[in-house]
Structure 1
């Protein structure tokens, strides 16, 4: 699907979700949500085999797993549930295309459930998912995409106090991509107590570091000096950083971060406070780690809650301002979406 197809997809998803919670007819709401779900499945399941930086590697791993050699690289190095999910598709007689469709179902079912349960299916939130969220990354990183989805679901259950379900889906996520354990310690942000100076301080410092990622890399180098040299070599190889972007996304997120702090000062609903804290955490982590290779995938584990928070951060504006701000944010999201299409960091436009 070409650029125009992805642009049409952006507006179609936004349109289908725009009046989701204004619909009084349950059947229409169900059909609207189902269409959004099916569109995501079609985009990911029926995409070209060249689409996505890592798709070729997944094709090779799929056929390695189909050979059933327990001594192969895949069986020795990849996570348990990734292998078992692939074996399940093969057992049913499916090819790699069938696995793409199955993996898309695993990616989007938990995410859409989280958005539904947080009352967050609307044009702004799904536009944010497409433009700033993991939509394009999901074309490439299948294992981590599934891990992000189930990790988001586990956090939702943690917020609700359902500890067994939290642990269950955390284990599921880790058994698709072990990197979820790097994101797990930051979960303490859920219970942050509001202090505007701490929030603004974290936001401002992380914003400055986003323009000079080498500062954080230098600090990490100092920390690495205390670990064995053979591990230093692996970690240092991943500490390359990107300092070539204009930082427009960081500026946009910084402005939304200010709005989040404003909302936190006036929000008394505990559930929404937890969502806002996780949303704020995503912005801070993106600013800190977004330009550093080995750490850049940590923030994305919290992006679903950033997306969800956009469903109610504008509630504190008056009616006239709310409409104008939401429209401005939607336009900005569309610009970011177009920018990603043309820069194409995940090789989406080749197939």
Structure 2
């Protein structure tokens, strides 16, 4: 059992909740309509406020949207979460029920969140606090436009000690960058697991822009199906692969086979770029649970899902790369037969990326 909770501030970063021992399960990225994100102080805060500046709250605003992360919180952790949000001191109230919605798939959820009591608006947050929010938004793959908005938020320039920030930094084994500046510029895991189901099944395709990739396991993603899709503005000539590309969509009882790769955190940006995250073509999914073929171990992975997909037949070149990757990594025979049956669009021209990858793979 658990309760659905929309977080929009520092709690979007998984490690923030872990500092207080709160267990959470990622559900989806979601939006709360007709509210806006604001930064405020509470008149009753002590002078040594936890974050050394304003903190995030939400305020009703017709036509605006707050993006956040929908989590499932265990019932035993709800009291701890209330205490973290200072409900007992009257600084925040629990707001419930509210309705939020995800985009892919489009679905509404009833959940709770927190809202500041008697806020003094338009105060500035500390650089540490706003950077934790930005790191959480990036970690969970919030829309690129919203991340750009978060990047414009002004901070108060606080340069002193901040124990809560330091604990979060320890939790994710991160470090300060920027010549000793008090605010961190990036939060880095040393490495991450990535579930590939499309062209990145083929080692040589992935290695072109992500040299740290190491094979971990063949794995399956349950209750999803493999699709081939494009975007509404794609044409045969404009698309990189001259047709549709792989996507995953929720589908009860189905499964998608793929490969789990381990990559250094330094490759995350290039992987996002390859998948067009900055162009809002794909969104990055965090904590996607897949099952290892070898030992049935559950693994939490990063993967990607297309935004606003439309069905589009793939080119024979794209299919061949997927098939080659599946064979290279010994994906189960039944799934190989399924891949062999996928129809293509018959494109017979040149596909530059295909020629490069197949040359590297000596195929």
Query: Whose helix fraction is larger, Structure 1's or Structure 2's?
Result: 1
Question: TM-score range, shorter-chain basis?
Answer: under 0.3
TM-score calculated relative to the size of structure 1: 0.27
TM-score calculated relative to the size of structure 2: 0.26
Query: Whose strand fraction is larger, Structure 1's or Structure 2's?
Result: 2
